[in-house]
Structure 1
Amino acid sequence: MSVRTYQSLHTLVTRLRDDLNQRETESQKKVVNKPAAVLLIYAYNRTGKTRLSMEFKDAGKRKTKKNPGGNADTLYFNAFTEDLFTWENDLEGNSARHLQLNEKSKFFDALLELALDETIAGYLSRYTNFDFDIDYEAWKITFRKGEVENIKISRGEQNIFVWCLFMAICERMLDGHESYQWVKFLYIDDPISSLDDNNAIAVACDLAKILRRAASRTDQNGTPAPIKVIFSSHHALFFNVMCNEIGRTKEGEPRVTHKRYFLHRPNGEGAYTLRATEDTPFFHHVAALAELKAAADSGKLYTFHFNALRSIMEKTASFFGHTDISFCLKALASEEDAALYNRALNLLSHGKYAIHEPTVMGEDNKDLFRDILKDFISIFKFALPDLSGAKPAAAAAAPGPQTKPPHE
């Protein structure tokens, strides 16, 4: 598995765009890479996924020889998209509550013409049980349940609604609506951050259908006209479902060419590493083990590391078809040690340990953590990667002239 290092988001974006675009040699006009239709990227929180998506979007608007007008080419969904919806609580009357849309955003281009209500409702009914009404003239949305109107929905329900609206826009874009002819790339970053596992799987399957359709899109003459896609997430289950759905061959559908990556920042700042995960969507768990091993070796262990170790052990047990970590513990050591490890993981992984205000482990707990981790890696024969040994990527060309981006 190759690992490349990128010193900036700009050089990383150049790599991702190269993966999606066909390149030729200048002298022989010979194709030097076969483009992928979809890139699937796994990264931990606070790696910089949102900033990467914005840099990708901004790169498409820079004025170059191929794009002298600086025209946008990326329709995206990320944390900024969710910020286009502002909740109005009617503090005076406490009754006319609604969600306000930012009418200045290009995201809502041709919203009046799209007739999205039915499509949004179709998606929304799969995940929740409230209804909505869109006032297109006032750019606002109200919600209701049964006969109760102007209800306040939760933040999670709001996020689900926004996501359903985005999926509806994607459908119109893939249908060839004239207002979205400028779209060449679709960038989706962490679409749903607060779903339970059942809804996460449902949303991932629905999204995969859209992405497969984007990858195999044709124009009115039947000529291939794919919308290239980048999807990134920190949600392990969501990412794994996406890998399975995009990777499998479906009867009557063309195979989707795609690449899978693990995006990492070894020091939490500075350079980025991009590692091809090939056919191993669970590679990120192995990478997490490598980070825990590095922390154990350095002695910089905090209480939240027990949470991380327990999470990996739970997923390992699930991989082997078992319901809890007792499967892993029984395999690690003697019955006495297994009981000790079980007590430690139960007690020390359930505290309210804030990663922003980390608590250093005591020396006894550090030794216990090292023993559990050592046995776990040894018994299950994990081959841990060296995430610090990445090869530097080739320097990217300097960006072309840039104008100040319009408000989106």
Structure 2
Amino acid sequence: MDLSQIAKQIKDASENIFLIYAFNSTGKTRLSVEYKEAARNTEGRQTGVYYNAFSEDLFIWDNEHIKLDIVSSSLNQYHSQLNELDVMEKLKPYNPKYDFLFNSHDNPEQGFVSISFFMKGDDSRQPIKISRGEERIFIWCFFLALIEVDSWTGEQNDYFFIDDPVSSMDDHNIFITAFTLMNLIENHYERKKIIITTHHIGLATILSDWLSKGEKAGKFKATRRGENNKYKISILEKIGDQYELSNPRNSVLLYHLRVLQILDTAIKEDSLEVYHLALLRQVLENIASFLGKGQFQYVLQQIGFTEETDRMANIINALTHQKVYYPQAGVMVPDNKQILIEVFDALMRKYHFVLQS
């Protein structure tokens, strides 16, 4: 199939949630464009909202004046319904080190022309340039705030197509974005089709686990015999000049080895933070699933923590719970650091994983 046929296949599918993993340069962004075309209504109008590389291209740095310019587009007409607090609310989980101001056009109907950034607490508001990673997070949060503007999404309310919002993000911010995407799914999947594509195997695995066997997975499962689940997890593969959406069970995704490499490096460099416990939990859950068990406590028992299983599991659960995770994402206290190191070492001894340097 070509990408236009893949787009039509997704559009016509009964599932409302599509999670698609693909290697870079496979065609994810082009698929988002093809989907936009496939989903137009009979009058040729767009029926949904998408976020991709083209969305990011609407923001360009003016290095001379140290501000982020916004390219004029059809979205500008909706800017007047946003304010800094709307976007800051979306940014809050990422703990930004800056404040910002929107610079409006003389004609309110033309929205914002740029954004100025300055350090938190700087009353002089001396302009600063934020990093590329911070910029990507800001644009993503700007988009998240914008999709809550009813006059925009009310007109285009059939779907969200989100292509790779995690480029240039570190592992901590990828976890935050995964939580954000799950909130988006939970809030909208019953009324809209939601398509998420990514080349980041970690993000794909986290969302896949949460959709298929997370705490709230039940709401995404089929409720009647013969009915499909409300989600579909696929891999976009290019074979020659053709494409197909394959079942991930037919491919080997060694995410656990990548996570173990990250943990190994953090331990050796003494740079462990709270989010590394969330990474460790992902490995434990993946191993438990592979062994046919539903709970990661089983793995703790298998690697030698037979008398301490409940205590270790409770600590890992507490520190990786969403409500605790946001405010405590920082340096790990020594006791918890020691627990992580002990579990990591026991995993390596039991299962003999080979980590490439």
Q: Same fold (TM over 0.5)?
A: yes
In structure 1, what is the equivalent of residue 247 of structure 2?
A: 276
Cα distance in 2 for partners of 1:244, 1:330 equals: 22
- In structure 2, the residue matched to 1:371 is none
Q: 1:133 to 1:275 in 2, by over 3 A?
A: same
Q: State the SS of the aligned residue for 2:127.
A: coil
Partner of 1:136: 104
Match of 2:21 in 1: 42
The answer for the alignment partner of 1:115 in structure 2 is 82
Question: Partner amino acid for 2:6?
Answer: L
Query: Are the equivalent residues in 2 in contact too, given 1:171–1:210 (CA < 8 A)?
Result: no
Q: Which residue does 2:12 correspond to in 1?
A: 18
TM value normalised by structure 1: 0.58
Where in structure 2 are the equivalents of 1:240-319 lying within 5 Å? 240-247=205-212, 254-255=219-220, 257-266=230-239, 269-277=240-248, 286=252, 311=258, 314=261, 319=286
What TM-score, normalized to structure 2?
A: 0.65
Instruction: Give the corresponding residue for 1:78.
Output: 52
- Cα 1:156–1:12, aligned 2, differ >3 Å: closer, same or farther? same
257-266 or 161-170: bigger deviation:
257-266
1:317–1:325 CA contact under 8 A, matched in 2: no
2:11, 2:38 within 8 Å by CA — same for their partners in 1?
A: no
Looking at structure 2, the residues matched to 117 and 196 of structure 1 have their Cα atoms a distance apart, in angstroms, of 25
Pairwise CA distance, 1:240 = 1.9
CA distance in 2, matches of 1:200, 1:185: 23
Q: What amino acid maps onto 1:165 in structure 2?
A: F
Amino acid in the other structure paired with 2:186:
R
1:169 positional shift: 1.4
Q: Choose between structure 1 and 2 for higher RCO, CA contacts under 8 A separated by at least 6 residues.
A: 1
Amino acid at match of 1:259: K
Give, in angstroms, the shift of residue 179 of structure 1. Answer: 6.2
The C-alpha deviation readout for 1:82-128, integer Å capped at 9, x for no partner, is 000011011xxxxx31111112x22334111x224212101212212
1:186-265 correspondence runs (5 A): 186-216=160-190, 226-247=191-212, 254-255=219-220, 257-265=230-238
What letter is aligned with 1:271? Q
- Partner SS state of residue 122, structure 1: helix
Contact 2:117 2:128 (8 Å CA) reproduced:
yes
The letter for the 1-side match of 2:172 is N
Return the match for 1:9 from 3, 9, 14. Answer: 3
CA offsets 1:49-98 (integer angstroms, 9 cap, x no match): 1111111112233xxxxx332011121111111000011011xxxxx311
Counterparts of 1:174-185 in structure 2, within 5 Å, are 176-177=150-151, 180-185=154-159
How far the C-alpha of 1:231 sits from its partner, in A, is 0.4
**Higher share of residues assigned helix:** 2
Give the structure 2 partner of residue 404 of structure 1: none
Tell me, in whole angstroms, the C-alpha distance in 1 between the residues paired with 2:167 and 2:53: 10
Amino acid at match of 1:12: I
Whole-Å Cα distance in 1 between the matches of residues 77 and 283 of structure 2? 47
**Does the C-alpha gap of structure 1 residues 324 and 123 become closer, same or farther in structure 2, counting only changes over 3 Å?**
farther
C-alpha distance after superposition, 1:294-352 (max 9, x if no partner): xxxxxxxxxxxxxx9974985997644764899389748xxxxxxxx87xx43xxxxxx
| Distance (Å, rounded) in 2 between the aligned partners of 1:328 and 1:106 | 57
Q: In the aligned structure 1, how far is the partner of 2:77 from the partner of 2:345?
A: 48
* Cα distance, 1:213 vs structure 2: 0.8
Is the alpha carbon distance of 1:160 and 1:325 closer, same or farther for their aligned partners in structure 2, counting shifts above 3 Å? farther
Q: Indicate the SS of the match to 1:140.
A: strand
Letter in 2 for 1:47: T
> Number of paired residues?
265
| Contact persistence 2:47–2:159 (CA under 8 A) | yes
Gaps of 5+ in 1: 1-5, 20-34, 62-66, 91-95, 217-225, 289-307, 333-340, 347-408
Q: Percent identity?
A: 28
